């Protein structure tokens, strides 16, 4: 393999891991950040970042031809699992608030259309990320790596 291909595959995988970490750190921190003077700005950022995160989740397997690197990078999933769990909990709290009470994310007025899309989009992000991370681990386990 050429050096450029190795560098591209490794770079794509590392950027994908960083995007997943950024998304789930922000998602897990929503309960502590709350709604500031800008209102629901962080929620809007996370909604816009959801498609990017889903796309990056598919890039996690780009190091697959390099078993040694792939085996090392898969360990990045362990701390991410705790962040994903905390993020999914925040999504459930916010979604319950929006769908049960009918109020907006950070307001006492009716929920806007994007408020109703926010929860399912974040849940989809969590599910796709979990599936792709499991596939990263299954690939390594199938080849006999430990």
pLDDT of res. 126 = 93
What domain count does the chain have? Answer: 1
Helix (H, G, I), strand (E, B) or coil at 103: strand
Q: Model pTM?
A: 0.83
User: What's the whole-number average pLDDT of the chain?
Assistant: 82
Structure tokens at 111: 């929920």
Structural domain span for residue 45: 3-142
Q: What is the pLDDT of residues 82-133, one digit of tens each?
A: 889 988 998 888 888 887 777 777 766 666 778 888 889 999 999 999 999 8
Residue 107 DSSP label? S
Structure tokens at 38: 């800008």
């Amino acid at each position: 393999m050429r050096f450029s291909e190795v560098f591209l595959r490794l770079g794509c995988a590392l950027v994908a891991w960083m995007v997943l970490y950024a998304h789930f750190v922000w998602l897990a921190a929503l309960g502590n950040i709350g709604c500031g003077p800008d209102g629901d700005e962080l929620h809007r950022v996370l909604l816009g970042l959801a498609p990017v995160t889903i796309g990056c989740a598919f890039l996690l397997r780009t190091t697959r031809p390099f078993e040694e690197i792939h085996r090392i990078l898969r360990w990045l999933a362990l701390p991410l699992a705790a962040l994903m769990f905390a993020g999914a909990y925040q999504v459930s709290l916010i979604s319950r608030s929006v769908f049960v009470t009918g109020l907006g994310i950070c307001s006492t007025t009716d929920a806007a259309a994007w408020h109703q899309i926010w929860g399912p989009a974040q849940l989809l992000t969590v599910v796709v990320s979990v599936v792709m991370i499991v596939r990263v681990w299954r690939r390594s386990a199938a080849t006999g790596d430990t």
